[in-house]
Structure 1
Amino acid sequence: MADARIRTAEPDDAPAAVALRALVYPYLVRGVASTRQMIAEPPSGEEWVAFVAEVDDRVVGWVSAYRNIRTSEAGFGEVSLLHVHPEQRRRGIGDALLGEALGHLRQVGVRRVRTWALPEALPFARRHGFTPSRELRYSALELRPAPPMPAAPPGVRLLPFAELDPPRVYRAEIATAADEPGDVASDAISYETWQHDVWQNLGLDKAASTVAEVDGELVAFSVVKRDGDRMWSDYTGTLPEHRGRGLARLAKRAALHRAAAGGVRFAYTSNDEANGPMLAINTQLGYQPVAAQWSCLAELT
């Protein structure tokens, strides 16, 4: 068998990258079109790059690396979705991919980096200088039968993204994101970055993504990204001053109903294990845990 070749990812790698991701991480949802878009049009200022490993002209490994421009912490970067085909492991491919990713981050001035590791990959992460920090739970829900559309209480309207102007949705999301549990605060999300990540993402389902409006203000929302009959609850949140009223659960139930009506059969999401309120909502909605990952941090020298 030929040695692995590591190279920069290209847009035409999208189908192979999605197939590999579905094998290693079956609970993650990103389609070919949005993956191609991610490779071809990364956000400005992020210094995003991806590398693939090829064996016999077949993509068997993937990793991406970028500067995190969504936080006010300077010099913070990410190594995302490092994974290798199960048949190609223990051949040094993961080491080579991680080396390329960390080398890129050093070149662009990143000083502290986060990556994610499955529990069985924690020894690999520690060997490369990473320290486990926080546990993330992945959960799944089969939308058969489809959940009923919830009845909104008086004074609350449930609106799909398709009926809204994007600046209103952006303002609601950044108002909820700053205190989300995590290694760094998501407190510096520009409108341009949000547009790229959310509104212009080819996987965004604007008919299913839902907001709760009270007195003309968007106070809670649930974002749906979709690939065929699978969806990812990308983010669900409520403005701090409106929490404790069940509005996030209401918006997410409506989003799940609309997604199911549009043909979605399987819903996936993830939550920090410290995010008790969202974990409780997902449990009430019927989600079941399917996997876990750990965020891991390292200092770059």
Structure 2
Amino acid sequence: MTVLVRDLRVDDPADVAAFAQVRHRALPFILWTPEAVVHRLVHTHPDARSRSLVAEEDGEVTGTAQIGLVHDSPEPGQGFLNVYVAPSRQRRGAGGLLVRTAEEYLTGEGATKLYAWVLDRPADLAFAERHGYERRRSAHFLRLDLANAALPPPCSPPPGVELRTAADYADDPRPVFELDAETVADEPGDVDVAFTDYEAWLTESWRHPLLDRELTTVVVVDGRPAAFSVAYTHGARYATAMTGTVRARRGRGLAKLAKTASLHRARAAGYTEALTGNDSDNGPMLAINAGLGYEICATEVRHVRELG
């Protein structure tokens, strides 16, 4: 048995497909496609110093890591490493070697604090603890059987409120960017981020290969975007990447309106499974999703390691 770690060969379709397959086997609650893997690596902002690593055992890709710096945070020196090994190839050295390689690289890039998501399972949590990582907050993956769900009936928007899609902003997506920037700034989490680079957002988010602009729903109040639910799709699966409302319009049910409308249109378009994720402290969104029929299917725990 020989395990080695190397960079993902982004120009090798078979290598990229193997990376996506390992991620899907380890974390089936997120949409993984070769196109999305390449897009993330190639189009992430250069200041993130992003890398995608693979662990290879006797020529077979058995583990993966996505690593980099949190370049859009006001606090410097924060890095991330998210390591996943194929379930049938765990406890063979791939995970530990990926962690060591990632830590050496990120330290060299100036990181002093490293964050990692770890599945809430005894073996995974013990692995993180052995490598010096401490538990922080948690987040849930949720799933909805969209084909058979008893969704609430679609609501008619109240006066002054209009439902649009992201496709309606194809000529000028800046209003969607501004909406995304404000809602992300208030999302629960350990690391503060600030979307200030419109061109980077266009490249990384607006042009993401899985973004479904027809199903991404935007709630417009008095002519201005006030809430949205961002939809990614692949095959028969639909995933909500972000649902949120601007601060001045919260408490009026606009996020639920956006997500309910998007789910109905997704089912009408033939999607049969809906996925999403929520921080465990995000009570309002968890309540919305529970009311729509989502059920928690897995949990991850955020871990941190202070360096030096």
Deviation per residue, 1:211-268 (Å, 9 max, x gap): 1001111000010112211122101100111000000000111121222233321111
Identity within the alignment, %: 36
CA contact (8 A) 1:177 1:186 kept: yes
Structure 1 residue 145 displacement after superposition: 4.0
Decide which of 217, 221, 224 is 2:228's aligned counterpart. Answer: 221
Structure 1 residue 3 displacement after superposition: 0.8
Aligned equivalent of 2:159: 154
Aligned equivalent of 2:96: 95
CA-based RMSD of the aligned residues comes to 1.5
CA contact (8 A) 1:9 1:39 kept: no
Aligned equivalent of 1:22: 24
CA contact (8 A) 1:206 1:224 kept: yes
Deviation per residue, 1:29-57 (Å, 9 max, x gap): 13221112223333221100011011232
Amino acid at match of 1:191: Y
Amino acid at match of 1:48: S
Aligned equivalent of 1:242: 249
Establish whether residue 166 from structure 1 lines up as the match of residue 161 from structure 2. no
Amino acid at match of 1:28: I
Amino acid at match of 2:272: R
CA contact (8 A) 1:135 1:272 kept: yes
Structure 1 residue 73 displacement after superposition: 1.2
1:118-267 map, 5 Å = 118-120=119-121, 121-145=124-148, 147=151, 149-164=154-169, 165-267=172-274
TM-score, normalisation: structure 1: 0.95
Aligned equivalent of 1:109: 110
Amino acid at match of 1:6: V
Size of the aligned set, in residue pairs, is 299
Distance 1:65 1:300 in 2: 16
Aligned equivalent of 2:288: 281
1:52-91 map, 5 Å = 52-80=54-82, 82-91=83-92
Amino acid at match of 2:57: V
* C-alpha spacing 1:261/1:70, structure 2 compared with 1 (3 Å): farther
Indicate the SS of the match to 2:73.
coil
Show structure 1 runs of 5+ residues with no match: none
Distance 1:264 1:250 in 2: 19
Establish whether residue 7 from structure 1 lines up as the match of residue 10 from structure 2. no
Distance 1:40 1:171 in 2: 24
Structure 1 residue 188 displacement after superposition: 4.3
Show structure 2 runs of 5+ residues with no match: none
TM-score, normalisation: structure 2: 0.93
Indicate the SS of the match to 1:253.
helix
